[in-house]
Amino acid sequence: VAVGDAVPWQVVDHYENPRNVGSLDRKAKNVGTGLVGAPACGDVMKLQVEVDENGKIVDARFKTFGCGSAIASSSLATEWVKGKTVDEALKIKNTDIAKELCLPPVKLHCSMLAEDAIKAALADYKLKQDPNKEESEKKA
Amino acid sequence: KEQYYSEQHSSLINKAYETLLNPLSRGLYLLELHGVKPAQETDCDGDSVFLTEIMEINEKLAEPKNEDILEEIETLIKVKQEELTKEVTAAFERDDLQEAKKLLAKMKYFANLEDKLKNKKIPS
């Protein structure tokens, strides 16, 4: 095994000690669920956020079935969104995740999937807060 | 020199055989021949209903080994793969390459599940 093939310890850490694995109540109004897949590699990622009345993310969980980098990316994502407001969390970029985990180029798409999962979860949460508004915006 | 040539061809034939034998790789190759790019690494799937199904099967597989459930899952995966293979065939036949691409993406998720199932069945 060449040195260049070594798995970054950050990825190993999240793989062996994943943070926030699990589920939140999908039906709860203040829970946003993002479910995304990567068709090229067949990885699937679910990320959920629980938001309080002040718009702050107080809890996050994930379940990912895929490679170590995908698991690590989503694990890190749940760590990062906690404590942030919805708008702050929307600013999390895949490049930040990739940098933190030292992802090699071939695994950069895993961090993109995590960013997509965050955005999907937050979009779901927003939709739940004001479904009527979304409908009238669509009609406009 | 002739031996080298034969070796090259031999491995190419093996690769061709394996590619064509497996419906997923065969389908992806056909897409390529038609000039359609397969799903890119940076593509993202948002099909909730389908992904929920994949998630649920994955979750069942992740549970402690249970022979009956494993058999159930194995059958489910086989059935789905056969269904999808038929649909992909039909899509290619009517030249609906975009639909074929979508269906092949779905097949990829099931191919992964098939691999995980195989690993699960290996006695630990």
- Farthest CA pair distance, chain B: 56
Cα four-point dihedral sign B4, B5, B10, B12: positive
Give all strands (DSSP E) within A2-130, no chain letters: 31-38, 43-51, 57-65
Q: Do A35 and B52 touch (CB under 8 A)?
A: yes
ipTM of the complex: 0.84
Give the model confidence (pLDDT) of B84-102 as tens digits.
999 999 999 999 999 999 9
A38 near B CB under 8 A:
yes
pTM: 0.86
Nearest-neighbour CA in chain B from A101: distance (Å): 18
* Domain total of chain B: 1
What is the mean predicted confidence (pLDDT) over B46-55?
93
As beta bridge partners, residue A31 has: A50
Give the model confidence (pLDDT) of A113-133 as tens digits.
999 999 999 999 999 998 765
pLDDT value at B55 more than 50: yes
pLDDT at A71: 95
Give the model confidence (pLDDT) of A40-71 as tens digits.
899 999 999 999 999 999 999 999 999 999 99
- Farthest CA pair distance, chain A: 58
Please name the member of B46, B50, B58 whose beta carbon is closest to the beta carbon of A120. Answer: B46
Structure confidence at residue A5 as a pLDDT band (50, 70, 90):
low
pLDDT at A84: 97
Please name the member of B46, B105, B109 whose beta carbon is closest to the beta carbon of A36. Answer: B46
Cα four-point dihedral sign B107, B100, A43, B21: positive
Q: Do B44 and A40 touch (CB under 8 A)?
A: no
pLDDT value at A6 more than 50: yes
* pLDDT top residue among B83 and B39: B83
Mutate to test the interface with A, among B44, B48, B101 (most CBs of A within 10 A): B44
Give the residue numbers of A annotated as catalytic, written as ranges: 41, 110
What is the residue range of B106's domain?
Answer: 2-121
